[in-house]
Chain A
Amino acid sequence: MELLQIRHISFTYPEQQTPALQDINLTVRRGEFAVMCGASGCGKTTLLRLCKPAIAPHGTRTGDILYNGLSLDDADPQTKACAIGYVGQNPEQQIVTDKVWHELAFGLENMGLPNDVIRRRVSEMAQFLGIQNWFHKNTDQLSGGQKQLLNLASVMVMQPELLILDEPTSQLDPIGAADFIGTLKKLNRDLGLTILLVEHRLEEVIPAADKVILMENGTVLCCDTPGGLGEYLYTNLPEHPLIDSLPSAMRIYHGLKDLSHADTVPLTVRDGRQYLENALGRQQLPENAPADTGKTPGISDKKAPVLELKNVWYRFELVGGNGSGKTTLLNVMCGIYPAYSGSVSYLGKPLRSYKGTLLYRNNMTMLPQDPQLMFVEDSIREDYEATCRVMGRSREETEQEILHMGELLSIAHLLDRHPYDVSGGELQKAALGKLLLLRPRVIFMDEPTKGLDGHSKKILAGQLRQLTAQDITIVMVTHDIEFAAQYGDLCGMLFDGQIISQSPPEDFFSGNSFYTTAANRIGRRYVPRAITCRQVVEQVTAGMSLEEPI
């Protein structure tokens, strides 16, 4: 039965010429797990918000949205508030009150329910989602993953039939994200809850999805099963940026499809391994097949590793549990926190010997997790100008540098916008520009890929590569294994306050068996040194082509 029907919806924001959504038709059935994906700015969020009238954007809308066969405009507000639940992107900002239990009760208080009803529903949900251990805590003491789980729970107490989520895991670390998605699966499976989810991290989500909706430029490009979507993308749009975000198993399968066909498209690591086993059987690929030279061209052509700490020597000994976090390590490396013991040296001299702001002008700088914190002024251009003033540039130099930065990072059209009015990826670029105005030799980055979609990540990687070509060293801490594997020159794992192993990504990830990319986990039995999907496909193909003539 159809729960949500979107019929010929078009939507235009005020004072905009082009519509944000054009003639959208969609159906979500009861009990379905639907995933919506697409590049940022394609209208996903607009569409989601139109389905939740209380937070629908202002603008002109045509078409109709039917909920349970009735138009949403006619439904009474109480039902709309309860029956359709909405969880947004930012875990921190959705929490309204200071106590976990109060937050859970917030929606029910709004419905004017009596105390004992609220008490029962709240305890029920806390029990079901495993919140009872931190039920009495302040919301401020929770981790990001717990905060998002709380947001989910405080929507679930209102007993919705349809749950709409807008990139709920984009701000979480992988463990929190996996927990969250696991909870969604549980809700879908155990309660039959209908879920409509917008997500960038398709690796974990797609295997659970019944239906994947691909949007582009305000239209629905494709609405199919996960396997069907892959089929569609690879046949019709092989250059589509979304392909890079598909699950590794699917990408490997499509790379090797011509060699070996399977009836169902593999979606998970397990299915992927099985597929490879079916395709390759017991045979071992020859050891010295071109496996070793099968690196991606970007890395292999450059003999000298760019990310080597060339002029920079760090000696950090973080002893004991004190400061074992990665952000702390970054802060120690760039001199914000003094090292607990040991010393940090930059260009052969200890950091302490750089007085005042000397260290942060022309030397090193850091890109924070949240680039919004870097901007003071009302437009990006004004901010750039202020930075140039600090660096003591003349008026002409300033103008020229800003122009140059606009071209280099392709943000010229954004310069006059307010930093809070641009998208996450764009702001990241603008922040990078601001850092580059300080002419750093080392840039530290704290989780730069957080919240970016696959396409923006690719652009970011390209720009970082440009920088490293200019002899700028980039040190990045990240949870994004795939990103590190694909673009890093040197990887290390931080655990318990120590850097465990430090080597080029191929060595690093092929040496790990759990903490490694999904592609490596799928292919490791046959091609242990391949860490990206592309490498797996290339090496397997190369190995097979050697085998087959015999």
Chain B
Amino acid sequence: MKRFDTFHPAALLLFYICILLLSMLSMDPVLLLASVCGSISFYCAAAYPRLSARSGLFFCVLFLLVTVTNPLFSHNGVTVLFYLNHQPVTKEAICCGAALGAMLLSVLYWCRTLQIFMTSDKLLYLFGRISPSLGLLLSMCLRFTPVFRRQYQNIHQVQKTLGYGGSDQPLDRIRCHVRSFGILVTWSMEHAIETADSMNGRGYGLGQRTAFSLFCWRLRDTLLTVFCLAATGGILACRAYGALHYYYYPAMTPHIWDAPHVICYSLVWLLMLSPVILEGVETLRWNYCRSAI
């Protein structure tokens, strides 16, 4: 059980909106570094027993690819390192590429944790808040998808025992898939009517629906919300005072360490690392509690 899993969907959504907004807001290397560190460490903590080296490698390659390809498109910058095909390759372009790669990397990793924590029922809750009918539609789709997948396996097997699709020819196999899919379509549509009856039987469409959920808004959701809003507001305010305006071209902006910058950076690091800190503290406390029993 991860701590983040227990937050209210709305609080979670707000957190992720803030985080993603900030990650894409600026090319400032300090901000991007914070976001990358925060997202990757949080992902490792969240997916702990099931980390895959392959996806990690994939993201490294992606990062390098973005870094390397940026100079091919952008020839701005003052510090020319060398010429490729008579086009200058500049230090600024490479750095900018690295920043773009870092932004992409952090966004992707935040999204991966988002996928872990924003489970279908939480998303459903959020949709249900906007519109109960939409929430219901989504829930019905979520219900049918696994049913259809299972039923498709059954159909495919039955078709095999009837002597279809058993041969090794690819065309024959594709034809059998299309055939099975056709059966699935008929089956699903004919049986959907029973589901519709069951809905009508329980009074669907009689009036305004409400959306029930098991989620409760607790103190820690309030805390998370306040923290996110305060941090994001602070960062945006600092931005108005000149922080987070970073340029790579023609030359990279030198870092200034005045008050808005320092406050801004510390807030950014605090916000970006907050999930992993929370998870870590929680795990330690849990282990402590368990050993105390």
Contacts and interface: CB of A to CB of B under 8 A. Distances in A.
A112 B146 contact: no
B160 A94 contact: no
A96 B195 contact: yes
B134 interface: no
Q: By DSSP majority rule, is chain B's interface helix, strand, loop, or mixed?
A: helix
Contacts of B199: 96, 106, 110
B172 to A, nearest CB: 9
A398 to B, nearest CB: 16
B212 A366 contact: no
Interface string B141-155: 011001100110011
Contacts, number: 169
A368 interface: yes
A107 B202 CA distance: 5
Contacts of B160: 336, 360
Interface residues of B, number: 53
Contacts of B120: 98
Contact of B206 (A97, A110, A420): A110
Interface residues on A, range: 35 or more
B282 interface: no
Given A102-B139, A368-B154, A115 B201 contact: no
B190 A420 contact: yes
A373 B154 contact: yes
Given A93-B191, A96-B195, A366-B158, A110 B163 contact: no
B136 interface: yes
Contacts of A149: none
A331 B157 CA distance: 9
B203 A373 contact: no
A78 B206 contact: yes
Contacts of A111: 203, 206-207
Given A98-B139, A109-B211, A373-B183, A366 B132 contact: no
A287 B27 CA distance: 97
A498 interface: no
A107 B210 contact: no
A54 B161 contact: no
B5 interface: no
Contacts of B186: 375, 420
Contacts of A115: 210, 212-213
Nearest to A354: B166
B194 interface: yes
Nearest to B140: A96
B292 interface: no
A175 interface: no
Contact of B161 (A94, A154, A336): A336
B201 A86 contact: yes
A55 B155 CA distance: 30
Interface in B150-187: 150-151, 154-155, 157-158, 160-164, 166-168, 179, 182-183, 186-187
Contacts of A221: none
Interface of A: 52, 54-55, 77-78, 81-82, 85-86, 88, 90, 92-99, 101-102, 105-115, 118-119, 122, 138-140, 151, 154-155, 158, 331, 334, 336, 356-357, 359-361, 364-366, 368, 370, 372-376, 387, 390, 420, 434-435, 438, 444
Interface of B: 120-121, 124, 132, 136, 139-140, 142-143, 146-147, 150-151, 154-155, 157-158, 160-164, 166-168, 179, 182-183, 186-187, 190-192, 194-195, 197-214
19 contacts: A78-B207, A82-B203, A86-B201, A92-B147, A93-B195, A98-B121, A98-B139, A102-B121, A106-B204, A110-B205, A119-B212, A138-B146, A154-B202, A336-B161, A356-B166, A357-B164, A360-B160, A373-B155, A435-B162
